[in-house]
């Protein structure tokens, strides 16, 4: 199902080329999951704005807030490699908008897949809002980039690894709360440096539950999950009782 807008421009499928820069590389001279998630954020917002421009959607007060994100990488692109990121919406069947991503390497082969869910949020009311546009007019009825039912991520009841941090100025985005990629980076950094040097992050599944703000004191927790290379992470508020983010990671 593809929509034609007033300008006869089809915005149901969106593509953007992105190149790995030197500042995207880590200690191992490799790109990584935070860069990929930044790319997904850039492409997702770009796609949404393209739909708004060509369809007359009013997005002055309504934004879409991520609730879940699942990313699976077969390999990470190398320095100066240009990757094509493809984005489309699945048909909306409930209050969640689901966006799919395919990442094509310089050779055209798929190197990664992702899917997320988001809900409308009113900036003025600071609460859940109502989107008046017809998202299904821009959805594509095709197989999801990842088969995902967004099952619940386990709660960390007890852990022996916990790190305290304070939200700093550059942790926050243009909407004044912690950028979603920062949470992912904090969870990754909960693992020992030696482990990070020897392993590659293959897949993440993230549940964004509440926002963090400038100056907040937070805790990052981690436990081993099903096997030695699978972990459950949580970012909690200062009370230790409220999870802002829960995440599962699988490493190779």
pLDDT for res 1: 39
94 vs 158: CA distance, rounded Å:
34
| pLDDT of 239 | 85
Give the per-residue pLDDT at 10: 78
- Going by C-alpha positions, the residue among 214, 215, 213, 221 that lies closest to residue 240 is 221
Domain 13-138, CATH among 3.40.50.300, 3.40.50.720, 3.10.129.10, 3.40.190.10: 3.10.129.10
Q: For the packed helices 180-188 and 33-55, what is the interaxial angle rounded to 10 degrees?
A: 170
Tallying the residues shown for the chain, one arrives at: 252
Predicted pLDDT at 142: 92
Kindly give the confidence (pLDDT) of every residue in the chain, 252 residues in length, as a single tens digit, with 9 standing for 90 and above: 344 444 456 788 999 999 999 999 999 999 999 999 999 999 999 998 888 887 766 666 667 889 999 999 999 999 999 999 999 999 988 888 999 999 999 999 999 999 999 988 776 666 665 665 677 778 899 999 999 888 899 999 988 789 999 999 999 998 889 999 999 999 999 999 999 999 999 999 999 999 999 999 999 999 999 888 999 999 999 888 899 999 999 999
Write down the domain spans for the chain: 13-138, 161-251
Give every CB contact of residue 49 below 8 A, 6+ residues apart in sequence: 59
Find where tokens 């500042």 sit: 23
- Widest distance between CA atoms in the chain: 57
pLDDT at position 3, please? 42
Contact 186, 220 (CB under 8 A): yes
Global pTM value? 0.91
> Spelled out in words, what is the top-level CATH class assigned to the domain 161-251?
alpha beta
DSSP codes joined into one string, 95-128 = S-EEEEEEEE-TTS-EEEEEEEEEEEEETTTTEE
Identify which of 36, 171, 10, 174 has the alpha carbon closest to the alpha carbon of residue 116.
36
């Amino acid at each position: 199902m593809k929509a034609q807008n007033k300008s006869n421009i089809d915005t149901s499928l969106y593509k953007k080329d992105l190149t790995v820069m030197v500042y995207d590389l880590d200690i191992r001279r490799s790109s990584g999951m935070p860069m990929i998630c930044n790319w997904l954020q850039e492409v997702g917002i770009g796609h949404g704005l393209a739909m708004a421009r060509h369809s007359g959607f009013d997005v002055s007060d309504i934004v879409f807030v991520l609730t879940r994100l699942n990313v699976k990488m077969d390999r990470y692109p190398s320095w100066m490699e240009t990757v094509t990121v493809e984005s489309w919406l699945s048909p909306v069947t409930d209050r969640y908008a689901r966006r799919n991503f395919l990442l094509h390497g310089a050779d055209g082969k798929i190197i990664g897949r992702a899917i997320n869910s988001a809900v409308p949020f009113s900036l003025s009311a600071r609460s859940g809002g109502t989107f008046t546009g017809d998202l299904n007019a821009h959805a594509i009825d095709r197989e999801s980039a990842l088969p995902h039912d967004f099952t619940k991520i386990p709660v960390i009841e007890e852990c022996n690894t916990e790190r305290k941090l304070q939200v700093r100025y550059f942790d926050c985005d243009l909407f004044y709360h912690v950028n979603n990629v920062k949470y992912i980076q904090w969870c990754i950094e909960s693992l020992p440096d030696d482990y990070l040097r020897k392993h590659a992050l293959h897949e993440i599944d993230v549940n964004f539950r509440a926002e963090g703000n400038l100056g907040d004191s937070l805790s990052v927790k981690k436990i081993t999950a099903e096997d030695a290379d699978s972990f459950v992470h949580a970012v909690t508020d200062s009370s230790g009782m409220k999870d802002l983010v829960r995440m599962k990671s699988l490493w190779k």
